[in-house]
Amino acid sequence: EVIRGPYVSVLAKRSQLTDLLVCALPVSAPEAPAGFDLLTRVMFDDAAPMLLLPDAWTGSLSPKRVLIAWNGSGEAARAVRAALPLLRRATDVVVLDGERPGPTGFSPPPLGLRDWLNRQGVVAQWSSLEVISDVGMALQARAQAMHADLLVMGAWGHSRMNELVLGGATRWLLDNAAQPLLLSH
């Protein structure tokens, strides 16, 4: 299918009945800063979850070692759900748990990711994420330490303006990813 004109809204619309968009991630020479680039604009335009492959990456699309960055958000839950077929085939799945419970009686209970993964046949190891700043850098370091073939996470969980101005894990990883990212907004 060939469509002329701005592809952001077209790609986002066409992806709505797909499980996953697979796109190149220009880390070595991004055409625009993360947040202003076309991939980010597609993600914000109600697109399907995206599997982004860094331009210097040479691995396969059958990840064996997967790191899940979990914070309990809807974005993270959608990313994990989209990654389920890949998680079922992986030999090593690590959940890096950074979820912080809200005030008792005022916040809904945390999502039961551990039980959900078990019901789906995914055996995962759990580790805690205790980083206050530079979360993106910490996620990348953990992914590299375990030789992860894939990092799964929610994208742009804070306000977009806050992430664009102050930075954030999504922005940092879009600029510095060494392995494929599966992101959902």
Q: How far apart are CA 42 and CA 13, in angstroms?
A: 9
Model confidence pLDDT, tens digit, residues 31-46: 665 555 666 677 666 6
Q: How far apart are CA 164 and CA 173, in angstroms?
A: 13
Q: Is the pLDDT of residue 139 over 90?
A: yes
Which tokens is 53 given? 């492959």
> What is residue 148's predicted lDDT score, i.e. its pLDDT?
96
Model confidence pLDDT, tens digit, residues 73-88: 999 999 999 999 999 9
pTM of the complete model: 0.84
Which of 29-43, 101-115, 127-141, 156-170 has the weakest average pLDDT?
156-170
pLDDT band at 170 (very low <50, low <70, confident <90, very high): confident
pLDDT band at 165 (very low <50, low <70, confident <90, very high): very low
Q: How far apart are CA 75 and CA 4, in angstroms?
A: 31
> What is residue 166's predicted lDDT score, i.e. its pLDDT?
43
User: What percent of the chain lies above the pLDDT cut of 90?
Assistant: 39
> What is residue 97's predicted lDDT score, i.e. its pLDDT?
92
Which of 36-50, 54-68, 109-123, 137-151 has the weakest average pLDDT?
36-50
Q: Is the pLDDT of residue 160 over 60?
A: no
pLDDT band at 119 (very low <50, low <70, confident <90, very high): very high
* Most confident listed range (84-93, 121-130, 159-168): 84-93
